[in-house]
Structure 1
Amino acid sequence: MNNMWKKAGLALTSLLLGAAVLSGCGSGEAKAPKDYDFYIFNAKTENADALAEVVKKYEQENGLKIKVFSLGTTDSAETLRSEMNSSHKPAIFSTNIGGVAEWSESKAIMDLNQATNPELKALADKIPDSMRLSMDGSQNYGIPYNIEGYGLIIDTRMVDGLFGSEHTAAFLDDFKAATYDEFESFVTAVDDYIQSDKPGSVTLNGHTYKFAGEKTALTKELTGVFAEAGAEKWTYGDHMGNMALNAIFDSPVAAKNATEEQVDELQSPVEKVVQTLDLYSQHAAGMNGPAKRGPDYINSTTASYDVSVQLFASGKALLLKQGNWVYPNIAKLNTDILPYLTFLPIKLPLEQSDIKVPGLTVEKFNRSVPEFVPSYYAINTKVTKREQDLAQQFLVWLNTSEEGRKAIVNDFEFIPYNADAGVKFDNTLNNSLIAYKVAGDTLSNPFNGSPAGGSYWGQEVFGTILQENYLNSPKAWTQEDYRDIAKQSVQGWKDAMY
């Protein structure tokens, strides 16, 4: 195991032991009897109300009293740590790949391979390897809350306007199958059409699409191809950094346990990501015309996440690189667009020699979208056996019963990690992710296993290098720039390993 993770785990264990000793010296209040059968600590703020309602139904059906605590903030680590070391510990708690080391080292998390409830064990066994919560791949520490994913979001009515509605379905299929070179030519041709009404055609997957002779009311509004958020390092550092990592690692666990040799292999994929970001930033949309690299490109008032969503929702940009979590934000700005949203895959100019994941081809990579688990339900082994048993029964009910699964989809509005083609949402982006999942065209989220936890490498290393030294300047990028950015980013990963 990576030395950094060992050291972090031991340090956290020491802190936990210290906290436990201190809490043992507390007052009589700490020893107050529990007035519930078991306790759920929920760190997913967006399903707080819905989870409370579902638990009420479960209580009524089973004659139980369940304590539910949902945070009003996404910063849950300290609060959870305090609860886990109190005399009233949660039986079910939220965690992810960034927190599993702490709870594994302190032996406070159940490996579901050893679950005493056979139904829960069977449920856990069906979690795909790439989605398992683990330290080294041998454990299975949690049941996924849901899956999320991201890609290039498009309003299909724009495709109608660009090429004719009779070609839209074929266009979407051909875009998914297209090569990077075809994608690059497509971006250039669309931007020429936007900026100068230049007629012409594009070729995707070997099929040619001619631009409409006249622009429609929608396509007249376009100012660029991409809605970019240069002020937000996570939108390119995490998202695009993760694309590079998928060429080398098939899961967060694999990235978390990376060897130095594997990290060195990131050099070429990161170069290819930078090349792609160069293309995006050369064809970005602004409110009143194209957006150009420079100070405004990284300014929080002109290039924030909110501005990028507004650019897309108002029809200024053809493509928005974001996840299904953006749907409510788009809905606040333009409800008309919602039925027409879908995901297209992010493409990279990879060669087969760049890819080290067994069985993954360039073609499959470029027709796939990343889908991953943001948070897991874990069971606390430090509570009583009865509480553990009740916790296992609840998770089985939530994820297998008709009422529980209906709550996940309709009330939580989450995509179940085991969703099939029969699961349908009003949310078109969720439906698009399910279609990719059913087709088997998905990548993972290895960036969550990068050193120092998730977003550190993506934002503070890769993202910072890009933002501070390249996106803030109008100068053209060269192949040497691609190599230098990648070299610095790879070294930043290695520096954080030890």
Structure 2
Amino acid sequence: MKLNKAMQSFWAASMVTTMAVGMVGCGGKAEAPASTPAAKEEVKSEAPKEEAKAEPVTVDIFQFKVEIAEELQKAIDLYTSKNPNVTINLQTVGGGDDYGAAQRALFQSGQEPTIFNIGGPQDVVDWKEYLEDLSDQSWVSTAGTTLGAVTDEGKIYGMPFAVEGYGIAYNKEIFETAGIDVSTIKDLASMDAAFAALDTKIKSGELKDKYPNLEAVVEMPAKELWVMGLHASNLFLNQEFATGMDAFKAKEVAFTKSADYKTYMDMMIKYSPNASTPAKANAVDYSTQVDQGIALERVAAIQQGNWIYGGVKNVDPAVADKLGFLPVPGDSIPLGVPMYWGINCKKSDAEKQAAKDFLNWLYTSEEGKDIIVNKFFFIPPFTGYEKYPAQDALGKAIMEYQAAGKTTPWVFMGYPTSWGEQVLGVNLQKYIGGEISWDEAIKAAQEGWKSSRQ
């Protein structure tokens, strides 16, 4: 996918482009192997020598994206079939599990992976001693301005996963059938009015014949701390912090849009199947929301991103193609890089090179590009994908928002370590469960932010 002027404008406006955080990773750039001129001596009567077989090497990958786990394994199988000396072991932890905590435990146990995931500047700080400098990789020149979050003093420590956007993914057909014009949704008040109208039609049984499973407007997976504490909070904290770097540098968080954040969270419960028993939302996970929710047309809308398309398609391709995005909380959607691939600089040269070779193949070969776009359903973070435009409904919707300049940044990459989930997210669960007030939840989150930045 070529970065046109609109895309370039997006990267300049919404990505963290100046995240030089003053850290030192392991070592400098990996040196390219010295080239040796081919021998020109004539070999007279000797039989030709057999080419030396490549030495066996094992690469362990520890990654967070459960949505691509199956297709990533298929990609690995394809790659290793062409490179039989390479063994690649894949482990995926994500969804309802805390990837960051699992990664820390893995390193502490001495089972360090070769390839692992890092987020923004806070992760560069936390993992600096394990990060290989990737500045000399060929894909760097095609990555636009996506590398600021993982750049320190000119050195690049991560390869971007993809470009992703999120908001309220919704079933366009259900809203149309209910006679709701989504173009009128511009803010929280107009979203509440639209949801109320749909809620009335669902409860009256008016939509039952066409959508027999439909029981509620939305589903909030409050069990998933990242949904509430990272993505939902970003909708409001990105109005307080212009970039992830601003969040990273901030010693305190004011929550200037706390009232709007509360309105939004309350709305996600009020129009859910758990409206009368909010505490039950704390048991709702990603699978319930996506695979058993919007994919089955049990709910009409959910807060998620374009990464859900593959999962919904696996359940019902027809439903997947009905999906689009509602902007939240205004006329825009957050767009950013979800994670970066990092390479463990403490591994052997052979392992590091094998890791780099695999990632290069995955993102720059024609086979790999097809996998990235048509199997992973990623929006590529690199140029050179002109022959591979987004084909899925949600990918296309993201590109439309981007082209229109209606995007906002992901600032949660600059939150303190684990704050979004283990501090803010946990306190939001307590609020939903009726254990504490909204003000108490926000105050606890503010104190957690401040103490982590002292």
**TM-score, length of structure 1 as denominator length:** 0.65
Counterpart in the other structure of 2:77: 53
Within a 5 Å distance, the mapping from 1:248-267 to structure 2 comes to 248-260=240-252, 263-264=253-254, 267=255
Alpha-carbon distance between aligned partners in 2 of 1:384 and 1:304, rounded to the nearest angstrom:
39
Within a 5 Å distance, the mapping from 1:35-74 to structure 2 comes to 36=55, 40-44=59-63, 46=69, 47-56=71-80, 59=83, 65-73=85-93
Counterpart in the other structure of 2:303: 321
- CA shift, 1:495, in A, is 2.2
Write the letter of the residue equivalent to 1:179: D
Query: 5+ unaligned residues in a row in structure 1: which ranges?
Result: 1-5, 14-33, 165-170, 198-213, 348-365
Within a 5 Å distance, the mapping from 1:243-322 to structure 2 comes to 243-260=235-252, 263-264=253-254, 267-285=255-273, 291-298=275-282, 300=283, 303-309=284-290, 310-322=292-304
1:73-102 CA distance string (max 9 Å, x none): 4534444577797xxx94x65443364324
Give the aligned length: 392
Alpha-carbon distance between aligned partners in 1 of 2:81 and 2:370, rounded to the nearest angstrom:
13
Change (3 A) 1:487 1:445: same
SS in structure 2 at match of 1:153: strand
Q: 1:400 aligns with which of 355, 364, 367?
A: 364
Change (3 A) 1:418 1:441: farther
- CA shift, 1:337, in A, is 1.4
Q: Is 1:429 matched up with 2:394?
A: yes
Q: What percentage of residue pairs aligned between the two structures are identical?
A: 24
Within a 5 Å distance, the mapping from 1:337-348 to structure 2 comes to 337-347=319-329
- CA shift, 1:274, in A, is 1.3
SS in structure 2 at match of 1:249: coil
- CA shift, 1:321, in A, is 1.3
Write the letter of the residue equivalent to 2:442: A
- CA shift, 1:49, in A, is 1.9
> Which one is further off, 397-406 or 147-156?
397-406
Contact 1:123 1:396 (8 Å CA) reproduced: no
Contact 1:148 1:325 (8 Å CA) reproduced: yes
Counterpart in the other structure of 1:495: 451
- CA shift, 1:395, in A, is 4.7
Q: 1:157 aligns with which of 173, 184, 197?
A: 173
1:26-46 CA distance string (max 9 Å, x none): xxxxxxxx9647664422361
Alpha-carbon distance between aligned partners in 1 of 2:287 and 2:116, rounded to the nearest angstrom:
31
Alpha-carbon distance between aligned partners in 1 of 2:434 and 2:127, rounded to the nearest angstrom:
44
Change (3 A) 1:414 1:163: same
1:232-265 CA distance string (max 9 Å, x none): 43332222122222223344444233233xx23x
Q: Which has the higher contact order (CA 8 A, sep 6+)?
A: 2
Change (3 A) 1:434 1:66: farther
- CA shift, 1:272, in A, is 1.6
Alpha-carbon distance between aligned partners in 2 of 1:226 and 1:398, rounded to the nearest angstrom:
36
Write the letter of the residue equivalent to 1:255: A
1:387-423 CA distance string (max 9 Å, x none): 7677666655543343331232234443322377864
Alpha-carbon distance between aligned partners in 2 of 1:250 and 1:435, rounded to the nearest angstrom:
22
Q: 2:230 aligns with which of 235, 238, 244?
A: 238
Write the letter of the residue equivalent to 2:301: L
Contact 1:255 1:449 (8 Å CA) reproduced: yes
Alpha-carbon distance between aligned partners in 1 of 2:351 and 2:58, rounded to the nearest angstrom:
8
- CA shift, 1:226, in A, is 1.5
Write the letter of the residue equivalent to 2:308: V
SS in structure 2 at match of 1:285: coil
Q: 1:450 aligns with which of 391, 415, 427?
A: 415
Alpha-carbon distance between aligned partners in 1 of 2:130 and 2:223, rounded to the nearest angstrom:
40
SS in structure 1 at match of 2:221: coil
Q: Is 1:471 matched up with 2:452?
A: no
SS in structure 2 at match of 1:235: helix
Write the letter of the residue equivalent to 2:150: L
1:118-166 CA distance string (max 9 Å, x none): x344134x23366x3246x8653221122333221111111231128xx
SS in structure 1 at match of 2:250: coil
Write the letter of the residue equivalent to 2:247: A
**TM-score, length of structure 2 as denominator length:** 0.71
SS in structure 2 at match of 1:378: strand
Change (3 A) 1:384 1:235: closer
1:432-475 CA distance string (max 9 Å, x none): 33433444433333223321x2xx3223322232322x32249x
Whichever structure has more helix as a proportion of its residues is 1
Alpha-carbon distance between aligned partners in 2 of 1:397 and 1:333, rounded to the nearest angstrom:
30
Write the letter of the residue equivalent to 1:489: A
Alpha-carbon distance between aligned partners in 2 of 1:396 and 1:304, rounded to the nearest angstrom:
34
Counterpart in the other structure of 1:30: none
Alpha-carbon distance between aligned partners in 2 of 1:280 and 1:490, rounded to the nearest angstrom:
23
Counterpart in the other structure of 1:28: none
Change (3 A) 1:400 1:328: closer
1:20-73 CA distance string (max 9 Å, x none): xxxxxxxxxxxxxx964766442236144233234337648xxxx434232254
Change (3 A) 1:306 1:482: same
Write the letter of the residue equivalent to 2:166: Y
Change (3 A) 1:80 1:39: farther
Contact 2:162 2:381 (8 Å CA) reproduced: yes
Change (3 A) 1:407 1:195: closer
Write the letter of the residue equivalent to 2:269: S
SS in structure 1 at match of 2:328: coil
Counterpart in the other structure of 1:205: none
Contact 2:251 2:453 (8 Å CA) reproduced: no
Contact 1:271 1:486 (8 Å CA) reproduced: no
Write the letter of the residue equivalent to 2:167: G
Write the letter of the residue equivalent to 2:198: V
Counterpart in the other structure of 1:370: 334
SS in structure 1 at match of 2:256: helix
Q: 1:182 aligns with which of 178, 183, 190?
A: 190
- CA shift, 1:222, in A, is 4.0
